[in-house]
Amino acid sequence: MVDNLFTPYSLPNGGIIPNRLVKAAMEENLANIQQQPDAALFALYGAWAKGGVGLIITGNVMIDRFAMTGPGGVALDAGSDLAPFKQWASIAKQKQARVWMQLNHPGRQVFKAMGGKNLAPSAIALDLGKHSSMFSKPQAMTSANINDVITRFVTTAELAQQAGFDGVQIHAAHGYLLAQFLSPLTNQRNDEWGGSLENRSRLLIEVIKQVRLKCGAHFDIAIKLNSADFQRGGFDIDDAEKVINMLAQYQVDMVELSGGSYEAPAMQGRSADERTLAREAYFLTLTEQLVTRSPMPLMLTGGIRRKVVAEQVINAGFALCGIASALAFYPALPTLWQNQPDFTPSLPSVNWQSKPLAGLATMAIIKRQLRRMSQGQTPQTNDSPVWSLIVDQFNTKQRTKRYRNTLGITRD
């Protein structure tokens, strides 16, 4: 019997998610000049809240305003005003959806033009071929840097709780800092933070332990984890299974499985190790071994846009089904599925030879829809990839200049 996508789910800590459909995190770049949410994000999250998802995970909120994935991102740290974050949480929860704030640190995945901090487990630069110059070589983190990052994750989690969020999702995927520690390609340390998988997992586990200690047993703690990096010699499916087993003893409520990084954007359906990914539910086949043996609930995200595929995810044993891009074009997709089960969203696809450029164009088209919704407009599915990329690059350049001026960043 097919499990109903619209039945509630009980988390290990007792929290209830009204249904199995999740608005997964996307990078929105809609924060104001103070790196806070305002009317634009309120309108966007209001649309998703009214659309019928059971759980909303925010776009990544950075734990350090000097270490951003891009300009226009939200940052929440010790110096932030909580008032707009409280309003953000309230709006997202208006239709009883549960709401998690995704916490992130980019590590080495900081565009060179941004300036600020560029830290990583080891001083290994991104390899994007002819586009590598977009990123500078990172500095290997000291013990003080590592301890500072742990403190920042905990501080931001505490502030999210105070603002009314039901929980946090700690981002340890997509090549960001915690994923960099997990991968032997980017973590070549020879101290207690590198080497064995247990050591490479130490930072993630220490963050989880301290967030749980500070925020209590009833605050949701989720992890976003790569099922694989999709790069030869990188973090792979067997590593993911071992990390999930490690996490089980630390009261983690949910692990979302995804994959890839800037170098191998598998989260957009593209690998860098010659593996062929499905056109939809990219990681379902790969992760079947994980879901059958996992000691904790799992959520799957990656290109899901049809109800029948979402049902396959739940029937495979996943507790939740994460949807991202489809909700950028159809924010009320869950409600549509309830009334029209066969409704299939029509989503644009960018199939350029250059994978990095295709990935940037895809993200540009998606961000264009998010911006439309933030202004009360209707998303469109026929935007030009070239024009969208040009507009996004122009906007990014302007926002980058504003970001650097606001924070007084004068060096790359």
pLDDT, one tens digit per residue, over 334-349 is 999 999 999 998 898 8
In which residue are the tokens 């097919």 written? 2
Across residues 71-99, what is the average pLDDT? 96
User: Looking at domain 9-407, which CATH architecture does it have?
Assistant: Alpha-Beta Barrel (3.20)
pLDDT band of residue 126 (cuts 50, 70, 90) is confident
Residue 81 is encoded by which pair of tokens? 């005003």
Higher pLDDT, 345 or 235: 345
Gap between the Cα atoms of 371 and 379, Å rounded = 9
Q: Where are the beta strands (DSSP E) in 250-359?
A: 254-258, 298-301, 320-323
**Burial track 51-77 (b if 16+ CB lie within 10 A, e otherwise):** bbbbbbbbbbbbbbbbbbbbbbbbbbb
DSSP state of 267: G
Gap between the Cα atoms of 323 and 304, Å rounded = 6
Extents of the domains making up the chain: 9-407
CA distances 368 to 64, 82, 243, 391, Å, are 26, 27, 36, 9
In which residue are the tokens 């690059």 written? 393
In contact, 63 and 105? CB cutoff 8 Å: yes
Write out pLDDT tens, residues 190-225.
999 999 999 999 999 999 999 999 999 999 999 999
CA neighbor of 302 nearest in space, from 364, 374, 228: 228
3-state secondary structure of 61: strand
Residue 36 is encoded by which pair of tokens? 């806070």
Residue positions counted in the chain: 412
For 71-140, give the DSSP string: TT-EE--TT--SHHHHHHHHHHTTTS-EEEEEEE--TT--BGGG-S--EESSS-----GGGGGGBPPPEE
Gap between the Cα atoms of 48 and 55, Å rounded = 10
Higher pLDDT, 264 or 370: 370
Write out pLDDT tens, residues 16-67.
999 999 999 999 999 999 999 999 999 999 999 999 999 999 999 999 999 9
Residue-level pLDDT at 301: 87
pLDDT band of residue 265 (cuts 50, 70, 90) is low
CA neighbor of 60 nearest in space, from 72, 47, 70, 74: 74
Residue-level pLDDT at 355: 75
Over 70: is that where the pLDDT of 306 sits?
A: yes
CA neighbor of 11 nearest in space, from 346, 268, 206, 251: 251
3-class SS shares of the chain: helix, strand, coil, % to 5:
40, 15, 45
In contact, 262 and 132? CB cutoff 8 Å: no
Over 70: is that where the pLDDT of 318 sits?
A: yes
Gap between the Cα atoms of 68 and 144, Å rounded = 20
Across residues 71-91, what is the average pLDDT? 96
Residue-level pLDDT at 269: 46
